Amino acid sequence: MRNLNGGIRTKMTNFYETDPEFMRIIEHFTLEEVVKEPGQELPEETRCLAVLATLLGCQGLAVYQDFLPKALDGGLTPVMVKEMVYQAADYLGIGRVMPFLSATNEILTARGVELPLPAQATTTMEDRLEKGADAQAEIFGAHMKEAWKAGHINRWLAANCFGDYYTRGGLDLKQRELITFCFLAAQGGCEPQLIAHARGNMNLGNDRDFLIRVISQCLPYIGYPRSLNAVNCVNKAAES
């Protein structure tokens, strides 16, 4: 029986000794049925990015630590991974993100990656609000250009969430909307925001079929209720 991390001994490995039947079930489902389901496949780089974001969203730290080396071997660069973790702070909060940042740094360092990585910022304190609003408008429509004026939280959303993070290098807007979709779907209880970001994904070309494939590939990590809720949100976004 091969383990979920391709044979590398990790914190999860003991389960193959103590719970072999359970591990056979989830291994077959996750690595055979889900990954190879006709019509639900994703490019490996995209699948790995979505799964990592999903594990952050559901706070699956042990599985994240097991999966990250595989994701790096599957095509994700250290910059892409770190950008995904950084952006999670806006959707999960720093209290839930910092343990994942520590784990990421430990794994990268163990693989010989020199930290800190090259800087990816493209904005300054002077233009982050303007560029953040531009990013919002590109994703959600021209009406978002003025949305920051509705109050201080809206201003923070434009300047911090979009101006500080979405404008960074390492990931493009389509990838950033993808991981946001995964953060929201995985943590649950964010259905209004999930509908909005499903629509944002579609506006950028991540269409309904793509998002259903993302949900399908992430289902083993978040379970059926949140996955079915996410499908419902995608369908609502597609209808609007």
What gap in Å lies between CA 165 and CA 153, rounded to an integer?
Answer: 16
Residue 180's nearest CA partner among 225, 214, 141 is 214
CA distances to 36, 78, 176, 177 from 116, rounded to whole Å, are: 37, 10, 21, 25
What gap in Å lies between CA 84 and CA 207, rounded to an integer?
Answer: 21
CA 211 to chain centre: 12
Q: Is the pLDDT reported for residue 225 higher than 90?
A: yes
78: preceding bond cis by omega (within 30 degrees): no
Mean model confidence pLDDT for the chain: 95
Q: What is the pLDDT of residues 148-173, one digit of tens each?
A: 999 999 999 999 999 999 999 999 99
| CATH number of the 15-114+170-239 domain | 1.20.1290.10
What gap in Å lies between CA 119 and CA 129, rounded to an integer?
Answer: 20
Residue 42's nearest CA partner among 214, 240, 225 is 214
CB atoms within 10 A of CB 118: 9
Share of the chain above pLDDT 70, in %: 95
CB atoms within 10 A of CB 95: 8
Residue 96's nearest CA partner among 53, 150, 36 is 53
Token pair in block for residue 97? 């993100």
**Residue with the two structure tokens 């993808």:** 178
Q: What number is the average pLDDT over the span 199-213?
A: 98
Q: What is the pLDDT of residues 97-140, one digit of tens each?
A: 999 999 999 999 999 999 999 999 999 999 999 999 999 999 99
What gap in Å lies between CA 199 and CA 36, rounded to an integer?
Answer: 27
CA 102 to chain centre: 17
Q: Is the pLDDT reported for residue 8 higher than 80?
A: no
Q: Residue 4 — very low, low, confident or very high, per pLDDT cuts 50/70/90?
A: low
Q: Residue 3 — very low, low, confident or very high, per pLDDT cuts 50/70/90?
A: low
Position 126 scores a pLDDT of 98
Q: What number is the average pLDDT over the span 54-74?
A: 97
What gap in Å lies between CA 85 and CA 58, rounded to an integer?
Answer: 13
What gap in Å lies between CA 240 and CA 235, rounded to an integer?
Answer: 9
Which residues have a Cβ under 8 Å from the Cβ of 199 and sit 6 or more positions away?
140, 237, 240
CB 43 within 8 A of CB 76: no
Amino acid at 85: V
Position 13 scores a pLDDT of 78
CB 122 within 8 A of CB 167: yes
Q: What number is the average pLDDT over the span 192-210?
A: 98
